[in-house]
Amino acid sequence: MLNLERLRTLDALARHGSVSGAAEGLHITTSAVSQQMSKLEREVGQQLLAKNGRGVRLTDAGRLLAEHAARILSQVELARSDLEAQRGEVAGELRVSAFPTAARGLFPHALSALRERHPALRLRSCELEPERGIAGVVRGDLDLAVVLDWYNKPMALPDGLVKAPILDDPADVAMPVDHRLAGRDEVDLAEFADDEWITWGEGEFCHEWLIFTLRSNGIEPIVGHRAAETHTQLGLVAAGLGVCIAPLLGRHPVPDGVVTVPVRQRVRRHVYVVWRADADRRPSIRAAVKALRAAGESVA
């Protein structure tokens, strides 16, 4: 008889490619990962891991069993979903993430509504950038993730995930109140060719989108400052240090000394929620999606 938790450990090793990555994904110690794998090797009577420099790699037998483990764990999730659907109760634990402005702009409304309507549901939430939220859902660390992409730069989803739209979030340019374009009804991005931009961190999806979009408009961007949070970016704008893209979701209140002006090209981002297809029938998933969409409608 194969032990399910040991198969889960093997699956995590295959997904993460290292003992430390598997331990982090499973929220256990590296020692516990090694112990689980040793027990699994004794159960199957074959070597599943081999040394690879300072780390380990899966043997042929390990890769074969890991493929079966992924399918077994998916079937377990399907069984769990079917049982919850048959019972029809919104109960148990639900782990959700959102990127920072969605956590600020959607979670207070959506999660409080869920708690009020479904007191048997235990909610656990955290802030994660879209790529990390999607990875958490794929690994099974999260049940749902609120993520985003942009009107001109979609984000590819891994196989096995489904999504539902929450809202289309318009984005303006935020600038100091004394900026030369502050009194305009609309602006073109090309008019900011000589301005310093305040943007997100290097390598983040939104930063890469901004660089891509400005270059598509003939601008080689001058990046002066980086900040992960919208309100930090707006604070830098208020200090006269540059301009930034300011989506509507989660940006209020706008600080004194800052004005926001719509972009003529109608810049917007798509906000949606993703979950695993094998969990689609869980009543808790459906209730959370409904609550998030209602929160999105209140913003839009």
Quick: pLDDT tens for 50-62.
988 888 899 999 9
Helix and strand numbers (H, E) in the chain are: 10, 11
Question: What pLDDT, on a 0 to 100 scale, did the predictor assign at position 76?
Answer: 82
**Mean pLDDT within 30-38:** 92
The whole-number average pLDDT for the span 141-145 is: 92
Q: What's the CA gap between 139 and 87, in Å, rounded?
A: 26
Here the tokens at position 20 are 């430390």
Place of tokens 């290292």: 18
Report the run of H or E that residue 119 belongs to, with start and end: none
Nearest alpha-carbon partner for 82 in 290, 280, 219: 280
Residues constituting the chain: 300
The four Cα atoms 202, 206, 209, 213 give a dihedral, to 10 degrees, of -110
Q: How much is the pTM?
A: 0.76
Predicted pLDDT of residue 85: 64
pLDDT for position 142: 92
Looking at residue 188, what is its pLDDT? 95
Arithmetic mean of pLDDT, 117-130:
93
Average pLDDT, the chain: 91
pLDDT tens, residue by residue, 197-221: 999 988 889 999 999 999 998 899 9
Check if the beta carbon of residue 243 is closer than 8 Å to that of residue 219. no
Cα 68–Cα 70–Cα 76 angle in degrees, nearest 5: 100
